[in-house]
């Protein structure tokens, strides 16, 4: 298989009125870095979920649960923010890939997140 050069890659288009418009030459990097960060967040959420489910650390369970909620909200907010720069199709594909790679245990994308993405791309 021949190596793909950087100039052969099709850069995902960034919306013209997006605050990321000035980064349009780096859209692939922006997407790749964000996906990597999101994978880390999901991995952490999975570990925390297993910890809470195991019943370990019962005195700290409430604190851990609050931190998990904050991390979930950040995870959703990042996808929403990217929805201001990229099309729904690109975000959906990226999110599916991240969640598959991270082995995320939730089976579907939350309705709240999809509504946020729809609003941000209009």
Per-residue pLDDT of the chain in tens (122 residues, 90 and over written 9): 344 344 444 666 777 777 666 666 677 788 888 999 999 999 999 988 888 888 876 778 888 889 999 999 999 999 998 888 888 888 999 999 999 887 765 533 444 344 444 444 44
pLDDT of residue 17: 72
Where are the domains positioned within the chain? 26-120
Cα–Cα distances (Å) from 40 to 31, 36, 108, in that order, read 14, 6, 19
HSE of 66, CA atoms in CB hemisphere, 13 A:
4
The pair of structure tokens assigned to 62 is 């409430």
* CA-based torsion, 11, 23, 19, 101: positive or negative: positive
pTM greater than 0.75 (yes/no): no
pLDDT of residue 117: 41
43 class by beta-carbon count within 10 Å (0-12 exposed, 13-18 middle, 19+ buried): middle
pLDDT of residue 102: 79
3-class DSSP assignment, residue 11? coil
pLDDT of residue 10: 60
pLDDT of residue 40: 93
Specify whether the CB–CB gap between 83 and 74 falls below 8 A. no
How far is residue 120's CA from residue 85's CA, in Å, rounded to a whole number? 9
């Amino acid at each position: 298989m021949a190596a793909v050069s950087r100039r052969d890659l099709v850069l995902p288009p960034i919306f013209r009125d997006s605050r990321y418009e000035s980064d349009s030459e780096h859209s692939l990097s922006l997407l790749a870095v964000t996906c990597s960060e999101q994978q880390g967040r999901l991995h952490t959420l999975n570990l925390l979920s297993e910890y809470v489910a195991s019943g370990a650390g019962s005195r700290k369970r409430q604190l851990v649960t609050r931190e998990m909620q904050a991390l979930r909200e950040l995870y959703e907010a990042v996808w929403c923010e990217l929805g201001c720069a990229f099309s729904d199709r690109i975000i959906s594909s990226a999110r599916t890939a991240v969640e598959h790679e991270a082995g995320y245990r939730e089976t579907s994308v939350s309705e709240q997140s999809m509504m946020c993405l729809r609003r941000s791309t209009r």
